[in-house]
Amino acid sequence: MSILIQCPACSAPLGNISRDSTLQVICASCCYRFGAVYGSVTRRESEVKPVQRRIPNLPKRHRRHYEFQIQIPSGPEILQCSSSGEADQIPAFEGDLVSCLYTLRGERLEEMISVTNPITGNIYRLASPGSTAVRTAIGWGLLSSVPMLLVLLPNGVEFPIALLASASSIPVVSIWVARLKSPKIRLDPDQKLRLAAEQQLFGEKIELEQRVEELQRKLTTNQARLNQLESLNQKMVEVGADLYAQRIERVSRAIAILDQQLSQDQQLIDQYARTIKMIEIELETSRAVEAIPNAENFMGMIFDRLAELKTIDQKTQQLRAQVEADETVRSLQP
């Protein structure tokens, strides 16, 4: 079973991660580099530590620090993170299967974003990308106002004016520190173009896979309905075609439209599956050589094909409506 990794900032689908493996991906829109690991927790430790305050006399605060060891074939992955307060909040224990998503600074874990249990579907969110940098920046901004206040007040500047003057340094210092500490990476234009193209193709692939699953479900339902009607038709013919003439006509009409629907859905599934494979080939090529060959021609061809298939898919909606409206077919629904 693989899990879809989406950017926690913009929700763009970024990649799939298989069990017992790691993944590194970059969101072309947000410029964060993410790491993910998916496997069993083999060790878990946690302890509460007081938060060191830069400004004295502030109320005491605590954070709980965690260390998880997740075993994958290439060796154990050690992940450290913390949550605010003393409570033990991350529901991931030894023996649990989890997927962890974090931002990376270079190869190092910058900030744990979420811990997910794929079996229960429980997601524990620790932070949003870049939130540690923002917190640090605000802290430094507030701290920067203190020295100015200490200089202005003894020199006879009135308190409201001194406060206003020192407060003016907060946004300047905060923005500067936030830029300095931000885990966002700088992408050159070619890299950004390639990643954006890959991200767009991957998004289309996910959409197509979901559509294929949906069509497969419809296909199974309609095949069962068709079998049921064919069996009914045969029974009526065996007993007496004249006796059941009107019903046989209605059932035969329903069989014909179901048959047509099944054939169209199968064709669509085949075409979508072929397009998914084409996308996979281009994604693998792009990642291997770090460039999309003839990017414009390729992208144009893929998207023309997708547009064509989506139009065909929409046209088949009419037939689907006809199938669902057919009284004989409707009477078969549970």
Using CB under 5 A as the criterion, which residues of the chain lie in contact with Zn ion when the complex forms? 7, 9-10, 27, 29-30
Shortest CB 175 distance to Zn ion, Å: 21
Burial letters for 47-60: b for 16+ Cβ neighbours within 10 Å, e otherwise? eeeeeeeeeeeeee
Whole-angstrom distance, CA of residue 26 vs CA of residue 105 = 12
Contact 306, 204 (CB under 8 A): yes
> In terms of CB distance, is 83 or 99 closer to Zn ion?
99
Minimum CB separation from Zn ion for residue 11, in Å?
Answer: 7
Alpha-helix runs per DSSP H in 117-244: 131-152, 159-167, 169-181, 189-240
Smallest separation, CB 3 to Zn ion (Å): 17
Smallest separation (angstroms) from Zn ion to the CB of 138: 23
Residue 103 or 222: the one with the smaller Cβ distance to Zn ion is 103
Whether residue 12 contacts residue 6, with contact meaning beta carbons closer than 8 Å, is answered with: yes
Please report which helix (H) or strand (E) contains residue 14, including its range: strand 13-18
User: DSSP letter at 154?
Assistant: G
d(CA 318, CA 324): 10
Q: Which is nearer to Zn ion, 29 or 223 (CB)?
A: 29
Q: Check if the beta carbon of residue 122 is closer than 8 Å to that of residue 131.
A: no
For residue 35, the cross-strand partners are 24, 102
Nearer CB in complex with Zn ion: 27/81: 27
Toward Zn ion, which CB reaches closer, 110 or 265?
110
Q: Which is nearer to Zn ion, 9 or 278 (CB)?
A: 9
Between residues 13 and 139, which has the closer beta carbon with respect to Zn ion? Answer: 13
CB of 126 to Zn ion, least distance (A): 18
Least distance to Zn ion from the beta carbon of 31, Å? 8
Question: In whole angstroms, how close is the CB of 125 to Zn ion at the nearest point?
Answer: 15
Angle between helices 131-152 and 159-167 (to 10 degrees): 150
Q: Which residue number, 178 or 329, has a Cβ lying nearer to Zn ion?
A: 178
CA proximity to 126, closest of 97, 101, 105: 101
Torsion angle of C-alpha atoms 27, 32, 38, 42, degrees rounded to 10: 180
Torsions phi, psi of 294, nearest 5?
A: 45, 55
Structure tokens at 320: 């689907």
Smallest separation (angstroms) from Zn ion to the CB of 135: 20
